[in-house]
C-alpha cells in the first residue's frame, strides 16, 4: 500500500509498482525520451477556450499523440509545431506495457509531460480515448511529486501519494476514469535529470482494436 493521506479507498484496478525501474533502467529510458524530444520538441500546450498556457511542457511518441489547444483536447498523428509524425514509442515502454497492462493490444500514445519545479497538473480524467478497457500506464522519472487521486466524480474525496523516479502506476479497471492530478514537485529529490524536474510518461490505448490480437 502506498504511503498516503486522506480518507478514500482506492478504486479497484489502481496499482502502484514502486521502484519498478532501477537506476540503470531509468537512465536508459531518460536517454530514449531525450531522443524523442530531439525529434519531437517539447512545447507548451494551451487550454481549450481560454488559451491559458499549461505549466507543463509536453511532447508525445507513438502513432497518436495527445494535444490541447484553443479548439480542444484530441489525439493526432503529428506534432503540432513541426507537422511531423511522432517518433516511435521506446521498446522498453512497450515491454512494460506487455508485462503490466493486462491488455492484448499495444498502446498507441505515449504522452511525455515535463514538469519544472513550479509545474502542476490540475485534477482531471483521462477520457479522450475510445477504449477504456486498457489501463493508463504511467512512469515517473526524475524529481518526486505529490500525486492526487480521487474517484469518478470530481467532488469525491481524494488521496495523495508521493511518486518517485522509477515508480510505475496503473489506472485500470474501475480506476480507469478516476480523477487525478499532480499538486507539486519536490525539487532536488533525484539526480536523474541534470537540470532537475520531473518527466511523466503515460501510455494509452486510444482506439478500440479489431477483434484479432495485434501481438
Closest CA to 178 of 115, 136, 119: 136
Query: Interface with ligand SIN includes 200 (CB under 6 A)?
Result: yes
Minimum Å gap between C-beta 83 and Mn ion is: 25
The answer to whether 204 and 109 are in contact (CB under 8 A) is yes
- Which x/- pattern, by CB under 6 A, does the window 108-147 give for ligand SIN? ---x-x-------x----------------x--------x
Minimum Å gap between C-beta 111 and ligand SIN is: 6
Residue of this chain nearest to ligand SIN (CB atom): 200
**DSSP code for 211:** S
The answer to whether 193 and 142 are in contact (CB under 8 A) is yes
C-alpha grid cell, residue 30:
531518460
Q: Which of 30, 101, 126, 159 binds Mn ion (CB under 5 A)?
A: 126
Minimum Å gap between C-beta 165 and ligand SIN is: 12
Minimum Å gap between C-beta 213 and ligand SIN is: 27
Minimum Å gap between C-beta 180 and ligand SIN is: 6
Which residue has 493521506 as its cell numbers? 5
Residue of this chain nearest to Mn ion (CB atom): 126
CB nearer to ligand SIN: pick between 60 and 200: 200
The answer to whether 108 and 135 are in contact (CB under 8 A) is no
- How far apart (Å, rounded) are the C-alpha atoms in residues 198 and 143? 5
C-alpha grid cell, residue 91:
521498446
Query: Interface with ligand SIN includes 158 (CB under 6 A)?
Result: no
Q: Cα 78 vs. chain centroid, distance in angstroms? A: 18
Query: Interface with ligand SIN includes 190 (CB under 6 A)?
Result: no
| 127: CB partners within 8 A, 6+ apart | 177
Residues that bind ligand SIN (CB under 6 A): 111, 113, 121, 138, 147, 180, 182, 200, 202
Residues that bind Mn ion (CB under 5 A): 126
Amino acid at each position: 500500500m502506498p504511503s498516503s493521506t486522506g480518507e478514500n479507498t482506492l478504486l479497484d484496478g489502481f496499482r502502484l509498482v514502486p521502484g519498478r525501474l532501477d537506476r540503470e533502467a531509468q537512465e536508459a529510458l531518460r536517454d530514449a525520451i531525450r531522443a524523442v524530444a530531439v525529434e519531437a520538441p517539447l512545447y507548451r500546450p494551451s487550454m481549450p477556450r481560454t488559451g491559458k498556457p499549461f505549466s507543463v511542457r509536453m511532447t508525445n511518441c507513438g502513432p497518436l499523440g495527445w494535444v490541447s489547444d484553443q479548439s480542444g483536447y484530441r489525439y493526432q498523428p503529428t506534432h503540432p509545431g513541426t507537422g511531423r509524425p511522432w517518433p516511435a514509442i521506446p521498446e522498453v515502454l512497450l515491454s512494460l506495457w506487455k508485462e503490466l497492462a493486462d491488455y492484448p493490444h499495444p498502446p498507441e500514445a505515449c504522452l511525455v509531460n515535463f514538469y519544472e519545479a513550479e509545474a502542476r497538473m490540475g485534477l482531471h480524467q483521462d477520457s479522450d480515448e475510445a477504449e477504456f478497457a486498457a489501463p493508463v500506464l504511467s512512469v515517473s522519472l526524475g524529481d518526486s511529486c505529490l500525486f492526487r487521486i480521487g474517484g469518478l466524480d470530481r467532488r469525491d474525496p481524494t488521496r495523495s501519494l508521493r511518486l518517485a523516479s522509477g515508480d510505475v502506476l496503473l489506472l485500470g479497471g474501475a480506476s480507469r476514469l478516476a480523477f487525478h492530478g499532480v499538486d507539486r514537485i519536490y525539487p532536488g529529490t533525484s539526480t536523474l535529470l541534470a537540470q532537475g524536474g520531473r518527466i511523466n510518461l503515460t501510455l494509452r490505448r486510444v482506439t478500440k482494436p479489431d477483434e484479432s490480437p495485434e501481438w
